[in-house]
Amino acid sequence: MKKTILFVLVAVAALSVIACSKKEGAAEGAAEVVANKDKPLVFFNRQPSDPTTGAIDMQAMNWNDKTYYIGFDAVGGGAVQGQLITEYLAAADPAVIDRNGDGVIGYLLCVGDVGHNDSIARTRGIREALKTWTGSPDPTSSQEGSAVVGGTEMKVVELEGKAMTGMDGSTWNANAATDAMSGWATKYGDQIDMVVSNNDGMAMGCLQASNYPAGVPIFGYDANADAVEAIGSGKLSGTVSQNVDAQATATLQVIRNLLDGLTGSDVYEKGITTADQYGNKISAAVDYRANEKALMAQNAAVNAANWENYKAGARDNGIKQTNAPTKKVLLTLYNSADNFLSSSYLPALQYYAPLLNIDLTVVQGDGQNESSCVDKFTNLGNFDAFAVNMVKTNSAMDYTDKLKY
């Protein structure tokens, strides 16, 4: 009888151990399932911010401890574009650039999106350089300015500034710029001495106008492949590189670091300013802003003297194939028709993602309605991380709300 009782006790104890082991195993298995709200979230190209004041949306940036922004120094870029223009004027012949000889340099301004921080910074950079800045980025707000042209100080006037919005409501619209330039050429004639644009797409759109005044200098921003080639052929006078490869790589690298379990400064330094565990390091300069949780690539002026250094096809040799575990990332692009994103940013992402063993799923919007992206921001449980490029800079909550569940 004692042996029977002892056997039963041993059996019960063994079953208890097995049951505990199963519970522990189940707990371990559950720990491997990461809730969407705890996954890495990187905003890029459009910084979460107030479209009126430009104030950074820190509620969005503090969504979780794995939320960051990747972009470029917009204010610095605006200053670079302004300097590019003033240096061009300083070397110009007043008798040539002042087409009607009235002693005034008249220019036209293509504005991308009055509610976008980058557009605001570029408009400000241009107007401050030409002394036409009134303190407002409004397309219609300017004052009489001045610039040194070939050693002579001349009056500068912004003939007209206009936000290039398409018929469908999309901003930074190249077709709208073509239409605007056609009207401007007729309206202002030989008063037009220069054209300046918030991006290359609109600048190239202006050049598509059949009556674009021959020889009038025009400046863009982005260093898109077609714009760089246009500088080489003498059609475009200059542009600004926001170092798209550094931005694209930093977007993926931060995600890679977070998925690999890195924390603290390692998240925004490894593979970016110092080599990561795979031996990768971005070649271009990228700065971290702790108060914004943002990594910003630096800008560079591109003109006839250095355009060949920015031709398409060059990639960062500091990023090589890794043996990192493959992870799935869902990425949104605000507008499939955006020239910079479609022709420069997306190809860079698609080049570097496989090197970092990131399986990228890209969904694209229409540039007008946030729903065109948000409605495709689905099946979130199938992805390990997210990269978001919003239609509007104040729409971050539309995406974080979906990550709550």
pLDDT of residue 20: 42
Asked whether residue 116 is assigned to any structural domain, the reply reads: yes
pLDDT of residue 19: 41
Asked whether residue 172 is assigned to any structural domain, the reply reads: yes
Nearest to 198 by CA among 141, 144, 125: 125
Q: Identify whether residues 220 and 301 lie together within a single domain.
A: no
For the chain, the domain total comes to 2
User: Mean pLDDT, the chain, as a whole number?
Assistant: 91
Q: Which two tokens stand for residue 268?
A: 């925004």
Q: Identify whether residues 358 and 258 lie together within a single domain.
A: yes
What order of strands is seen across the sheet that includes strand 145-149?
145-149, 152-163, 104-111, 192-197, 218-219
Q: What is the pLDDT of residues 180-216, one digit of tens each?
A: 999 999 999 999 999 999 999 999 999 999 999 999 9
Q: What is the pLDDT of residues 219-273, one digit of tens each?
A: 999 999 899 999 999 999 999 998 999 999 999 999 999 999 999 999 999 999 9
Asked whether residue 26 is assigned to any structural domain, the reply reads: no
pLDDT of residue 30: 42
Q: Identify whether residues 223 and 271 lie together within a single domain.
A: no
Q: Identify whether residues 131 and 227 lie together within a single domain.
A: yes
Q: Identify whether residues 307 and 331 lie together within a single domain.
A: yes
Asked whether residue 6 is assigned to any structural domain, the reply reads: no
Q: Identify whether residues 272 and 400 lie together within a single domain.
A: yes
Q: Identify whether residues 91 and 232 lie together within a single domain.
A: yes
Asked whether residue 17 is assigned to any structural domain, the reply reads: no
Q: Which two tokens stand for residue 235?
A: 């059609």
Residue at a domain's end among 222, 241, 260: 241
Question: Is the pLDDT reported for residue 13 higher than 90?
Answer: no
pLDDT of residue 7: 39
pLDDT of residue 9: 37
Q: Which two tokens stand for residue 171?
A: 């901003």
Q: Please state the pTM of the whole predicted model.
A: 0.76
Residue at a domain's end among 188, 223, 241: 241
Q: Identify whether residues 213 and 315 lie together within a single domain.
A: no
Asked whether residue 22 is assigned to any structural domain, the reply reads: no
Q: Identify whether residues 265 and 210 lie together within a single domain.
A: no
Nearest to 105 by CA among 152, 175, 46: 152
* CB atoms closer than 10 angstroms to residue 180: 21
pLDDT band at 173 (very low <50, low <70, confident <90, very high): very high
pLDDT band at 115 (very low <50, low <70, confident <90, very high): confident
Backbone angles phi, psi at 258, to 5 degrees: -65, -40
Q: Identify whether residues 249 and 235 lie together within a single domain.
A: no
Asked whether residue 41 is assigned to any structural domain, the reply reads: yes
186 lies in which domain range?
Answer: 75-241
Do 386 and 42 form a contact (C-beta atoms < 8 A)?
Answer: yes
DSSP helix/strand/coil, 109 = strand
Question: Is the pLDDT reported for residue 29 higher than 90?
Answer: no
CATH number of the CATH domain containing 337: 3.40.50.2300
Range among 64-78, 86-100, 337-351 with highest mean pLDDT value: 86-100
Asked whether residue 27 is assigned to any structural domain, the reply reads: no
Residue at a domain's end among 225, 241, 257: 241
Q: Identify whether residues 81 and 221 lie together within a single domain.
A: yes
Q: Identify whether residues 107 and 133 lie together within a single domain.
A: yes
